[in-house]
Each structure stands twice: as structure tokens, then as C-alpha cells.
Amino acid sequence: MWKEIGDRERGILRPKSFTTRIKSNRIRTLQISNHKDIVSPHRASINSLQVDLTEGRYLLSGAADASAAVYDVQRATDYEGGGLIAKHKCLFVVDKQHEHGHKYAISSAIWYPVDTGLFITGSHDHHINVWDTNTTQVVMNFKMPGKVYRTAMSSLATTHMLIAAGTEDVQVRLCDIASGAFSHTLSGHRDGVMTVEWSTSSEWVLVTGGCDGAIRFWDIRRAGCFLVLDQSHSQLGRRPTIPEHSATNKALTSKSLSSGQNLNAKPRAQQRKLANGNGTKQSPVGRMPAKGSLRQRLHPGMLSSLDRATAHYGAVTGLKATEDGMYLLSAGSDSRLRLWDVESGCNTLVNFETVRLQAGKPIQLATSQDSALVFVPCMTAVKAFDVWSGNTSQTFRGHYEYVNSCWFSSQEQELYTGGNDKQILVWSPPRMKDLLRIGITGVIDICS
Amino acid sequence: MDKTSEEASSKGKKRQRDQQPTDPQTNQPHHQIFSLEDNLSFTDTLVALRMMRAQFPRIDKVSIQPFILRSQLYSSVKDRTQVDRELESLRREKVVRIFKLNTGQDDHAIMFLDDYLNQMENVVKRLEEKEGDQVFKWFRTHVIDSKLEPSIEHQELYTLLSLGGMVKDGHISLLINAGLLILKSVVLWSFSVLASYTRQLIDPNMYWFAIPNIGSVLKGLSQGRKEVLSFLNRRRYKEMMLASMEKKCLRFSPLDMRFHLRDLIGSGHLKTVQTSTGLLVRVSKD
């Protein structure tokens, strides 16, 4: 460590590699924090955690007792144990007693990506609320046709302010904060949608995972999805090999004859604008004909609804895109974690040794910033897997019951996990002070 | 592992198989020279597949070609990603075929293509269908050859079979009756040993490929798994030496203890611990 600082001083080590080295060393020594504690006011299981994307300072948690709370993770509210343990109490809490609060469990609580002035909560009472943080008032409300499982907003978006909502209804709805209405719906899934994630490389691409086991990529500017991930399409390695003959490659990776996916078609952007928050269902044109001959009646963008490829043998419970936008991790209720190459749409066949994953609820995965590690809640423990080899790098055991969500803060190299035991645990690298203190006492013991 | 263990593996087995592996053996008198402990891990997937195929237990009541479960491969080769990738390339080269089983959440059976074709032949011979004889031939030449995935859509099945001749609906029912295809049209809530479940949607147009005549063996598989786990769970410390576990006979399963042990270790229900007296098998707490 000191040698590295010296090298950095002399200019032998680049600043970026210096920081990555320190960060990865710290990540490798993550353990349950002995100097930081988050006091959670929730009285039921914690379903969602997120640290804001602008400052990395405020942690938002949503729980099953319809309460959402915000904590400052950088500044402690008080200290215990002679100043050694920092206690972080919540800055405020909104729960059922609030006049416009949710009535049932909050399944997803996210920050407005631009600043921490707004946050959005989605709940099992079919509503999505947009809250003003400073006044803790609801400024906007969207009514969904079913329980809301996940909400997401794109952190890259500069031209739109859409909330993508995955509910138990088969259609994914996009809610617009600017106008207060639904912008459009995306149909194609055959069962409820448990996870939604925006792509980290394009502000127009949305990835959704459904209870039918399919993962679909949508470009919100046009109808239908442009990619459905199929677990039987696989590539051996990080990127597909350059084909010698393009024909043989097509035979291996092309879709079957009767699938309706049309990658080359350019459908006109048919956006169904609905007025004033009316979430009326619009059935797609020519829905799912039984015989193939009737396929011509479908709009080219809707052909993807015929594609029944599944990414998992059960429901897709968690999705996470890597920071560079090239790979996608998906967790399913078949207890498999899969890594997909987004560009080719293939399964990279990396095997993550998960014995069991939680099946009924959506789970939140987290990746470290350079995407070398993925943190997955596996029942009562959180496991960190190496993304490229699938080996378990670390196991974090501390929760008493199932873990639902985890969030990795790359600024502090800290991991926050929340579970059914109503606790939010902090996992951090040991402090320098502690290491030095152990070092000094060790030396004194030897000398005396 | 190395050649000596390969030879040693089929010595001293209580049940001899019909097809012996390459080298001739001398019967060791009392000891079972072969033990699971020595043969638990291999370097390569193909080697592991061949070894496990050679060690497949012989079942008296049902004539079935050897198959290997995916979880058994995971317990045998260290790197699971390597297993997945090598299996994928073997599948693409048409050396093996992979079938999805309905026992448990993610069970796959791997069978060498020749074994599968032999199994098909045996089943077809026994059926003695005059009319539908050709369907099986068409199935074999057109469908098995070109469709390498474990499932197939109705439309595509029809098209591929039509390459052989006029296909009627009755033909497809023949295939289903023979056990070669299974409809995906049932909502399956299947409970595996650990009571976790998967739900497969009603899909009237898709079929899974299946190994014919395998029903009783699969039943034995699930019952055997339960038996092994309950046996270990009943013990005070939920563990037992691997060497003594192997000697036990299973009451409910025609497959031997070694088969089940490999499967359960690979799927994570059991874990092995190295001790000074040998390998210890323990029920893993998740």
C-alpha cells in the first residue's frame, strides 16, 4: 500500500490504476461493518434499497409495511460506543399514516436520477407515487391495473422523464412525470412483469423480465420488442467468435423457422398515447393467432409477441445491466443466474454456483463498478460472484432471514443489504485505524 | 483422473455391466478397489461423461441406455463454466443430446447420441406398429438430426417430419405415445426435494424431447434422492464418511448410491469435506 502511494507520487503508477487497485483491495476485504450501523424504522421486510445517483449520499429504502425512509450514509446522526460506532437514523419516514401514503407494501423505491428532490415509490396497492423529498408530499400519482413489482427510471435520459413500471399485468407501462399521464404501453409478455431495468448504454432501451421467464428488450420509440433472449442460444466466451462462414454461424445462432422475430423490419413508430392517466388496456393488433398463416395480419413490430423463447425455466426475478452496457445479468426462480451478451443476445454460459434463489419476490442484484463482481442475495446470505468465471468470491452471512435487495456504493466501496428481518446491514472494508491499532499492539507484544 | 483409476473403476463392482469398458479387469477378491472417493473429479467433461456412462448401474426390470445428469457433471469437474461450455460444443457436434427432465427445477439428462438412437430402436421394435413405422424413421432422420435443442415447436416438427412424407396428426400422437415427445401444455408446479418450484406456462404448441421408457427410472431418481437426504438428516450430525455411505443399498431406487451421491453433491444439497480419514459427506445448510 505504501509502495503504491510512493509509485503514484513518482508517476510510475497511473492515477486510474492506482484508484482501481485500492478499490478492488477494499472490496475484497468487505465484512460486516463494525463502525457503521443503519437504524431502520421499518416494521416489515425491506424490499428495495437505492443510494442516489448524484451524490451517493442518501439511501432510500422501501419496506413491506408501506413505509419508505431516507438515510444519510455519509454523516452519522449520533455516535455510540465512545465515538467508535456511527449510528445512521433515518432523516424522515413516510408510511401508512401519511395522508397520501401507500396502503400496502412498497415493492420499489427509487430516486429521481437527476437530483434527490424527488423519489418514486411503487406499491402493491396498484399506485405509483412521486414524492417531493423536501416537503414529503405526493406530487403525482399513477394508478396501475395490478400490483406494481418494479419501477425504474433511466439514469442516462436527457430527453424523457419516463417511469417504466412492471406490474402483475402483462403490459409494461411508461408513465411520464412531465405530463402526468401514461405515455405508452409495451405488450409482449405473457405473464406479469417482475423486473424492469433501463439500459446503461442507451436512454431508449428498456429491458424487462417477466414471470413467463422471458427477457425482452424494448426500444420505446417503436412498437414491439426488438430482442427476446433465448437460453438455448449460447456463445462460448465473452464475445461470439468471428465466423469463418457466416452461413454456418447462422445455422447455429439463428432463430427457428416459425418464430416471428423480425430483426430487419423497420416498423413505424406507433406510439399509443393515452390521455390523462387512463390506463385502459389496448390489445395489440391481431393478438396471437394459432396458425402461422395468419401472421401476416400482425403489425411487424408485434411479431415479437409470437416469440416464446424463455431465458429461464421459471420467472425472471432480477436483472442487472453492467455499467458498460454490454452484458446483462439475470436471476431466475429456477435458481440460475445467467450472463447475457447484449449485442449478440446469447447466453455466455457462465455458471454461477447458486444452489437456491428466492422464488416468489423480485430481488435486487448489484455489481461493483468495474463489473468484476456481482452481489446476489441467495436466501439468507449475499454472495459475491466473479462475473467472468462464476466462482464465488465472498459470502456475506449476517441476515437472519431472506435477503431481498442489495446495493453497492462504489464511492465508498460499501454494500447495503436489506431483507425480511427488517434490518439494513452495512458491509464495509475494515478501517485503516483498526488495522493500524492491531499492528501497533502486535508490535508492542513482541517487544515486551 | 489417470489411467490406473480408469482401470480400477470397474473392478470389484457388485453389478457387472453388459458393455465393459476398454481394458480387461481382474476381479479383486474382497475390497472394492474402486471407490467414489478416488473417482470424484475429472479433468475434462468428455472423460467424465464416458466414465460415468461406464459406471451406470444396470437395472434389471427396465432396459435403459446409460444417461448422465448435469448435476453429476458439476460434481465431477471443478469449473462449472467449463462444463457448460464443453457440453454446449459437444451438443453442437452431435456427440450428445440433452433432455430436460421433469424431476426438480433444472434437471437435465445427457445421453450419447448413439445410446439414444439405440434406445429409440428398442422402443420402436417393441411397439410393433405397422402403420406408423415410417414416422419413427422420419423422426430419426429429419428431426433428431437437425433439431439439437431440447424442445421443439409444433409447426417446426410438422415441417421437419413432412420432409419424409405425408404427416397426419395421428403420427404425432404415435410419437407421444412412444414417449419420444412430451407436450408442454400442462401447467407444472413440480416440487423438488427442497420444495422450491418452477412454473411453466401453458404452451399448447411446444414439445419437449424425451427419453422413452425412462418413467420408472425417473421416479426412482426422485425417491432415491429423498431417501439419501433423509438418511443423512436422521443422523445426529447429518454427516457420514463417503466410503461407508457407498456401501449402503437404496430401497426405493434402482439406481445405485454412487449415482445419487454424485447428483446430490453436484446440485449442492450435499457437500464433501476432506478429513484425515477420507472424504466426509455432509448435508449442506444453505
Measure CA A322 to chain center. 10
**Is the CB of A414 inside 8 Å of chain B's CB atoms?**
no
ipTM of the complex: 0.77
**pLDDT band with cut points at 50, 70 and 90 for residue B213:** confident
Closest chain B residue to A332, measured at CA: B198
Helix axes B113-127, B169-178, angle to 10 degrees: 110
Measure CA B279 to chain center. 25
**pLDDT band with cut points at 50, 70 and 90 for residue A423:** very high
Whether the per-residue pLDDT at B217 is higher than 60: the answer is: yes
Per-residue model confidence (pLDDT) at position A97: 92
Task: Give φ, ψ of A70 to 5 degrees.
Answer: -120, 135
Per-residue model confidence (pLDDT) at position A436: 63
A352 in Cβ contact with A395 (< 8 Å): no
Residues A324-370 have pLDDT tens digits of: 889 999 999 888 899 999 999 899 989 898 888 888 899 999 998 77
A70 in Cβ contact with A52 (< 8 Å): no
A323 in Cβ contact with A367 (< 8 Å): yes
Count the alpha carbons within 13 Å of A40 in the hemisphere toward its beta carbon.
28
Percent of chain A with pLDDT over 70: 84
Whether the per-residue pLDDT at A251 is higher than 70: the answer is: no
What is the phi-psi region of residue A12: left when phi exceeds 0, alpha when psi lies from -120 to 50, beta otherwise?
Answer: alpha
Per-residue model confidence (pLDDT) at position A339: 93
Shortest Cα distance, chain B CAs vs residue A376, angstroms = 14
- Could you give the CA distance from residue A9 to residue A80 in angstroms, rounded to a whole number? 38
Whether the per-residue pLDDT at A93 is higher than 70: the answer is: yes
Whether the per-residue pLDDT at A189 is higher than 70: the answer is: yes
Per-residue model confidence (pLDDT) at position A62: 95
Count the alpha carbons within 13 Å of B156 in the hemisphere toward its beta carbon.
20
Which whole number is the average pLDDT over A220-240?
85
Query: Among A41-45, A134-138, A264-268, which is the least confidently predicted range?
Result: A264-268
Q: What is the mean pLDDT of chain A?
A: 84
Q: What is the mean pLDDT of chain B?
A: 77
Which whole number is the average pLDDT over A17-32?
90
B interface test, pick of A193, A255, A256, A291 with most B CB neighbours within 10 Å: A256
Per-residue model confidence (pLDDT) at position A109: 96
**pLDDT band with cut points at 50, 70 and 90 for residue A63:** very high
Instruction: Copy the grid coordinates of residue B140.
Output: 430419426
- Could you give the CA distance from residue A208 to residue A222 in angstroms, rounded to a whole number? 16
Query: Among A187-201, A337-351, B146-160, B224-238, which is the least confidently predicted range?
Result: B146-160
Find the length of chain A: 448
Residues B29-77 have pLDDT tens digits of: 333 446 677 767 777 888 889 988 988 888 877 788 899 999 999 888 8
B152: enclosing H helix or E strand: strand B151-153
Residues 256..285 of B with a Cβ closer than 8 Å to A: which?
267-269, 284
Contacts of B11 (CB under 8 A, 6+ apart): B25, B26, B27, B28, B33, B34
A392: enclosing H helix or E strand: strand A392-397
Query: Among B42-51, B228-237, B254-263, which is the least confidently predicted range?
Result: B42-51
- Could you give the CA distance from residue A379 to residue A24 in angstroms, rounded to a whole number? 26
Instruction: Copy the grid coordinates of residue B257.
Output: 448410491
**DSSP string across A172-233:** EEEEETTTSSEEEEE---SS-EEEEEE-SS-TTEEEEEETTS-EEEEETTSSSEEEE--TT-
Task: Give φ, ψ of A424 to 5 degrees.
Answer: -110, 120
**pLDDT band with cut points at 50, 70 and 90 for residue B241:** very high
CB contact under 8 A, A334 and B92: no
A403: enclosing H helix or E strand: strand A403-409
Whether the per-residue pLDDT at A292 is higher than 60: the answer is: no
Q: Which of B205, B200, B173 is nearest to B102 (CA)?
A: B200
Per-residue model confidence (pLDDT) at position A419: 94
Q: Are strands A36-38 and A85-88 parallel, antiparallel or unpaired?
A: parallel
- Could you give the CA distance from residue B42 to residue B77 in angstroms, rounded to a whole number? 5
Between A421 and B101, whose confidence is greater? A421
Whether the per-residue pLDDT at A175 is higher than 60: the answer is: yes
Percent of chain B with pLDDT over 70: 77
Closest chain A residue to B89, measured at CA: A236
Q: Is B279 helix (H, G, I), strand (E, B) or coil?
A: strand
**pLDDT band with cut points at 50, 70 and 90 for residue A151:** very high
**Is the CB of B44 inside 8 Å of chain A's CB atoms?**
no
B58 in Cβ contact with B16 (< 8 Å): yes
**Is the CB of B200 inside 8 Å of chain A's CB atoms?**
yes
Q: Is A394 helix (H, G, I), strand (E, B) or coil?
A: strand
User: In which order are the strands placed within the sheet that holds A118-123?
Assistant: A106-111, A118-123, A127-132, A137-143
Query: Among A61-70, A104-113, A295-304, A416-425, which is the least confidently predicted range?
Result: A295-304
A191 in Cβ contact with A170 (< 8 Å): yes
Between A69 and A358, whose confidence is greater? A69
Instruction: Please count the residue pairs, one from chain A and one from chain B, whose beta carbons lie less than 8 angstroms apart.
Output: 80
**pLDDT band with cut points at 50, 70 and 90 for residue A303:** confident
Whether the per-residue pLDDT at B18 is higher than 80: the answer is: no
Among the partner residues B80, B200, B286, nearest to A355 by beta-carbon distance? B286
Chain B residues with beta carbon closer than 8 angstroms to that of A258 = 153, 155-156, 159
Closest chain A residue to B199, measured at CA: A314
CB contact under 8 A, A335 and B80: no
**pLDDT band with cut points at 50, 70 and 90 for residue B228:** very high
Residues A387-415 have pLDDT tens digits of: 988 899 999 999 999 999 999 998 889 99
Q: From residue B225, how far is each of A51, A81, A252, B60, B159 by CA, in Å?
A: 44, 51, 36, 20, 40
Among the partner residues A313, A353, A378, nearest to B105 by beta-carbon distance? A313
Whether the per-residue pLDDT at B3 is higher than 60: the answer is: no
Per-residue model confidence (pLDDT) at position A337: 92
Per-residue model confidence (pLDDT) at position A378: 92
